[in-house]
Amino acid sequence: MNGRSGRGRSGHILGISLVSLGIVAGLVLAGALYVWDTQTRASAAKALAGEAAAPASAASSPASKPAGSPTSAPASAGAPTSAPTAVSAPTPAPITPSAPTSAPAKPTAASTAASSTPAPAATGGTANAQAGQAVFQKFCQGCHPGGNKGFGPALKGPDFQQKFPGDDALAALIRKGEGSMPAFSPAQIDDAALADLIAYIRSLK
């Protein structure tokens, strides 16, 4: 009985010892693996850093100057040390313009007004009363419907003919305007259209 108990205790102690040895061996192996992995990573990082630094240093370093290259171009033998003095050409005296003998005449107010006032268009045989009707419809019909009295006076009849016996007076009225009647510039009614318009007005009965 005592022999069996002794053997049981010995086996128990042996099992505990084996388990302890296994744990210690596992810890040692894990530590060795950790150290090896750390060293491997450090070596790889150094190698990558060296490869990245090599192109940068090569690009930043200036090209070495070849030995024996001259620093400056040699002066040609026999070249003069100073440029010859240029002989200055004689400067011609400036010509003073002569003053005008008489001042230009200033335009008078009458001549200025005459030049700014457009000449009335001729209403000779080239005027076209049919073409003038279109001009009348566009610019005159609203105030002189059909040539009759409306917002403006009638453009036909004895009174009108007496007031405007000639075409020049009628053309001047259209160009300058009068009272509530606006003026019509050549940009609105050119000279040819004005002659056609007057021919149409003269044809109204």
Domain 118-203 classification at class level: mainly alpha
Does the structure show a pLDDT above 50 at 193?
yes
Q: Where are the domains of the chain?
A: 1-52, 118-203
For 43-92, what is each residue's pLDDT tens digit?
888 888 777 666 555 555 544 444 444 444 444 444 445 544 555 555 65
For 134-166, what is each residue's pLDDT tens digit?
999 999 999 999 999 999 999 999 999 999 999
What does the DSSP assignment read for the chain? Answer: -HHHHHHHHHHHHHHHHHHHHHHHHHHHHHHHHHHHHHHHHHHHHHHHHHHHHHHHHHHHSPPPPPTT--SSPPPPTT--SSPPPPPPPPPPPPPPPPPPSSPPPPPPHHHHHHHHSPPPPP-STT--HHHHHHHHHHHTTTTSGGGS-SSS--SSSHHHHHH--SHHHHHHHHHH-BTTBPP--TTTS-HHHHHHHHHHHHH--
